[in-house]
Structure 1
Amino acid sequence: MKLYRFITGPDDSQFCHRVTAALNKGWQLHGTPAYTFNAATGTLHCGQAVMKEVEGVDYTPEIRLGEY
């Protein structure tokens, strides 16, 4: 089964650590990062899609993607 996640958050070290943790669990980057600026808070937000192939498991909507 193929899994897809889109990790989002403020452009800070915590976001980078979340993406790094996913990569170290076997997720692969998918596409380029996305950025948007929140003018109300003055914060840059980013997102990164990641994908992972998992064998021997069937997809169900109840799957908690972060556990893989």
Structure 2
Amino acid sequence: MRAYRLLTAEDTAAFCHKVTEALSKGWELHGSPAYAHDPATGTMRCAQAVIKDVEGEYDPEIRLGSL
């Protein structure tokens, strides 16, 4: 099964650490990062899609962050 996650957070070092942690757990970058202004909070937000091939069948109850 190929798993997909979209990592998002405010534009801080914490976002970079979130992506780096996913990469260290075997996730791979998928596409380009996105960067946008959030007018509700007045902050910039980042997003990066990641994918990972894992054994087993898809289950909607799976916690993708634990893969």
TM-score between both structures, scaled by the size of structure 1: 0.92
Task: Tell me the CA shift for residue 34 of structure 1.
Answer: 0.7
TM-score by length of 2: 0.93
**Matched residue, 1:39:** 39
Q: Which residue of 1 aligns with 2:59?
A: 60
Give the Cα separation in 1 of the matches to 2:6 and 2:45: 13
The number of aligned residues is 67
Structure 2, unaligned stretches of length 5 or more?
Answer: none
Name the residue aligned to 2:19. 19
Q: Distance in 2 between matches of 1:21 and 1:2?
A: 18
**What's 2:6 paired with?**
6
Q: Give me the CA root mean square deviation.
A: 1.0
Q: For 1:11-60, what per-residue CA distance to the aligned partner results, in whole angstroms no more than 9, with x for missing partners?
A: 101111110000000000000001111234331101000000012x1111
Determine helix, strand or coil for the equivalent of 2:26.
coil
